[in-house]
Amino acid sequence: MSATLIRNVHLATMADSAATANGAGYGELRDAALLVRDGRIAWLGRADALTGEIAAGVAEEIDGEGGWLTPGLIDCHTHLVFGGDRSHEFELRLEGASYEEIARAGGGIRSTVAATRAAGEDALFAAARGRLARLEAEGVTRVEIKSGYGLDFDSERRMLRVARRLGAAGGAAVHTTYLAAHALPPEYQGRQDDYVAACIAWLGILHGEGLIDAVDAFCENIAFSPAQVERLFDAAGALGLPVKLHAEQLSDQGGAGLVARRRGLSADHLEWLDADGIAAMAAAGTVAVMLPVAFYYLRETRLPPIDALRAAGVAMAVATDCNPGTAPCTSALLALNMACTLFRLTPAEALAGMTCHAARALGVQDQAGTLEVGKRADLALWRIGRPAELCYWLGAAPLAGRWVGGVKMA
Ligand code: NIG
Ligand code: FE
């Protein structure tokens, strides 16, 4: 029975925000302490309520030096594993080319596919490990990682294996998502339905290998149609796998309604989301994942319908979308800042979006995302005076400590 007591801290439990889809608070508990036993939160409360009985068997005491303890941050939408980079396309976009034009000319996702296919497993792992380390340095303790830059069986499998290896390395919990339906690979040009059939066949095999936690697709006029996504989701449902969707990023395809009708975990992006999609998400409890870095990077002008989502009680998560094309970002705190500055979330909503609502978007709200007794001790300790500072500073490096499953990380 190993026990650690973290004292001299203020807690942002985020439990109020978790209780309702868009509760407004941090769940503040000032002058507090938190006890970790066997990897879980065993007790938390006001420091003056801490008794010798509660603290019995404490092997280690941490002085939080008056900082704030929050749930470890959860980045619920990333494409962290990829080969190469797309800085050249960044230059082209600055000269006026659009994301769609670059994609239609064979660049975009497809250029990352070529680089990813050419990279060996160890090279992909090393590059992704570096990116994950930067997220961890900003308090991330759990991350979702998608495939989708392989687009053939071996390369999709390699990406998912790398993601599993990143999880096994222990610095953060990793959820894997199968995103073979991300773009049409060149060898299937003109044969989109055949490619969807291949994605479905690979899904069964890779799921059998234990590599897949959820299934995603890019539902867009430059990617896959709603009918094709339905076929893929039928196969996911038959395997008992949860679904999520890149929906309404560049146009309104009705993707959010589609994934909500399947009781999907989340619909992500959502700049073109309409009222029907919002109603369907609210009815199903599907989380809206906000990706403000991609919005910024693509210099979009159409905002997701934040006020309507809020009014409908749809839980909003916030994620980096780390990927080489639209969000080359390994800063969780920058994504929080942009959720506030660009999307007008309050800092409390943004932090809920990277804790309790992100946990819901990964289906792990019973284990993670809030500071509550019984939850896994995934924690971040910050040198800040108020929780809103997590959204306020740029480049501040405020992390003072991080625990994953109760284990203190360096
Ligand atoms: O989440 N929207 C599609 N997928 C990624 C972009 C991938 C890329 O451009 O490489 C996204 O924005
Ligand atoms: Fe994405």
160 in the same domain as 222: yes
Contacts of 326 (CB under 8 A, 6+ apart): 99, 293, 294, 297, 298
Per-residue model confidence (pLDDT) at position 129: 98
147 in the same domain as 289: yes
Ligand 1 touching residue 102 (CB < 6 A): no
317 in the same domain as 181: yes
Q: How far is the CA of 226 from the centre of ligand 2 (A)?
A: 17
In 72-192 the beta strands, taken as DSSP E runs, fall at: 73-75, 140-146, 173-181
Report the atom number in ligand 1 closest to the C-alpha of 220. Answer: 2
- Tens of pLDDT, residue by residue over 175-204, are 999 999 999 999 999 999 999 999 999 999
Enter the DSSP assignment of 47: G
Say what percent of the chain tops pLDDT 70.
Answer: 99
Kindly report which listed range (85-94, 100-109, 209-218, 257-266) carries the lowest average pLDDT score: 100-109
307 in the same domain as 206: yes
Ligand 1 touching residue 83 (CB < 6 A): no
Rounded to whole angstroms, the Cα distance separating 308 from 350 reads: 16
Q: How far is the CA of 175 from the centre of ligand 1 (A)?
A: 18
Per-residue model confidence (pLDDT) at position 259: 98
249 in the same domain as 306: yes
92 in the same domain as 7: no
Range of the domain at 159: 73-361
Per-residue model confidence (pLDDT) at position 204: 98
Which pTM does this prediction carry?
0.97
252 in the same domain as 105: yes
User: Domains in the chain: how many in total?
Assistant: 2
Q: What is the CATH number of the domain that holds 86?
A: 3.20.20.140
275 in the same domain as 231: yes
- Average pLDDT (288-313) is 96
Rounded to whole angstroms, the Cα distance separating 172 from 138 reads: 12
Say what percent of the chain tops pLDDT 90.
Answer: 94
Ligand 1 pocket check: which of 86, 98, 218 to mutate, most ligand atoms within 8 Å of Cβ? 218
Report the atom number in ligand 1 closest to the C-alpha of 268. Answer: 1
- Tens of pLDDT, residue by residue over 137-185, are 999 999 999 999 999 999 999 999 999 999 999 999 999 999 999 999 9
User: What residues are paired with 3 via a beta bridge?
Assistant: 37
Report the atom number in ligand 1 closest to the C-alpha of 269. Answer: 1
- Tens of pLDDT, residue by residue over 13-61, are 999 777 776 656 999 999 999 999 999 999 999 999 999 999 999 999 9
Q: How far is the CA of 182 from the centre of ligand 1 (A)?
A: 8
161 in the same domain as 108: yes
Neighbours of ion ligand 2 (CB under 5 A): 321
Ligand 1 touching residue 329 (CB < 6 A): no
Taking the CA of 75 as reference, the closest ligand is 2
Q: How far is the CA of 243 from the centre of ligand 1 (A)?
A: 17
120 in the same domain as 32: no
90 in the same domain as 54: no
Ligand 1 pocket check: which of 76, 79, 85, 104 to mutate, most ligand atoms within 8 Å of Cβ? 79
Ligand 1 touching residue 179 (CB < 6 A): no
Protein residue with least CA distance to atom 12, ligand 1: 326
Q: How confident is the model at residue 106 (pLDDT cuts 50, 70, 90)?
A: confident
Ligand 1 touching residue 81 (CB < 6 A): no
Per-residue model confidence (pLDDT) at position 23: 58
User: What residues are paired with 205 via a beta bridge?
Assistant: none
Per-residue model confidence (pLDDT) at position 22: 64
Per-residue model confidence (pLDDT) at position 410: 79
291 in the same domain as 180: yes
Q: What is the CATH number of the domain that holds 374?
A: 2.30.40.10
Per-residue model confidence (pLDDT) at position 18: 74
Ligand 1 pocket check: which of 87, 109, 149, 219 to mutate, most ligand atoms within 8 Å of Cβ? 109
Ligand 1 touching residue 71 (CB < 6 A): no
- Average pLDDT (278-295) is 98
Q: How far is the CA of 322 from the centre of ligand 2 (A)?
A: 8
Ligand 1 touching residue 268 (CB < 6 A): no
